Amino acid sequence: MKYRSFGNLEFKPSALGFGAMRLPTLGADPSRIDEEKAIRMIHYAVDNGVNYIDTAYPYHKGESEILVGKALKGKYGKKVKLATKLPSWLIEKESDFNRFLDEQLEKLKIDHIDFYLLHSLNKEKWQNLSRLSVFSWAEKAIRDGRIGCLGFSFHDKYEVFKEIVDGYDRWAFCQIQLNYMDEDFQAGRKGLKYASQKGLAVVVMEPLKGGRLANPPKAVKKIFEKADKKRTPADWALQ
């Protein structure tokens, strides 16, 4: 496994993290996670050097955090850093911050979340969380040990991304969508560089565009076929 630098933090994450948004299920209901298979997958990833696990409050209709908590019980939890996310769209009043964080800690069966993200920020959610003094709350949660570092995931235009990055001087990291088909989509490469220049660590979501780049368009396949080095489409996407 290769490891990367991570903004201004001392932590060295594996080049590949493990996202718990699309775990195997028993049938079509996303809430019915195939627990045995999913835990085996997470353990395999950790055993082979993955040290960053990502989940969120709504994944698998609320069941992902519970599954991840089970997978990281005992020795596996000591080998990784865990990221989960505040459901920003459900925040209506200041007391909601603690309510959701404490619920997540209970679901995960832990008392500390290493990396906590404000989930899926756009202009509207950003304005609402700012109005409710999210940073004052988050800094208290960091001081009392429930949160290690604060970051955000993002879905809006680059101009909004820049506003959010500049809107708080203690961001540790952010998560953006980026793949070779979406270099200028949302934050894009421009946002990647801007965040890095500001000292933020950057986590990339959707490097395979939700799995679709494992079987890319024919025009893309033809380009790959001309390359001297042969890789699978998924490998090209991760490269």
- Looking at the fold, whether 97 and 78 belong to one and the same domain comes out as yes
Tally of residues, the chain: 239
Domain that holds residue 185: 18-207
Same domain for 123 and 213? no
pLDDT, tens digit (0-9, with 9 covering 90-100), for 118-171: 999 999 999 999 999 999 999 999 999 999 999 999 999 999 999 999 999 999
pLDDT of residue 83: 98
Catalytic, out of 3, 44, 52, 59: 59
Mean pLDDT (the chain, rounded): 97
Is residue 52 flagged as an active site residue? Answer: no
Tell me what pLDDT residue 120 has: 98
Q: Identify the CATH number of the domain in which residue 150 sits.
A: 3.20.20.100
3-state secondary structure 43-82: HHHHHCCCCEEECCCCHHHHCHHHHHHHHCCHHHHHCCEE
Same domain, 119 and 50: yes
Query: Confidence band (pLDDT; 50, 70, 90) for 180?
Result: very high
Same domain, 110 and 132: yes
CA distance 117 to 15: 19
How far is 142 from 126, CA to CA, in rounded Å? 20
CA 59: distance to chain centroid?
11
3-state SS class at 158: helix
pLDDT of 202: 98
Residues 189 and 70: their CA atoms lie apart, in Å, by 36
Give tens-digit pLDDT for 35-58: 999 999 999 999 999 999 999 999
Q: Where are the alpha helices (DSSP H) in the chain?
A: 35-47, 64-71, 95-108, 123-131, 134-143, 158-166, 188-197, 218-226, 233-238
Interatomic CA distance for residues 120 and 126, integer angstroms: 9
Percent of the chain scored above 90 by pLDDT?
100
Number of domains in the chain: 2
pLDDT-derived band at 70 (thresholds 50, 70, 90) equals very high
CA distance 79 to 51: 6
Residue-level pLDDT at 153: 98
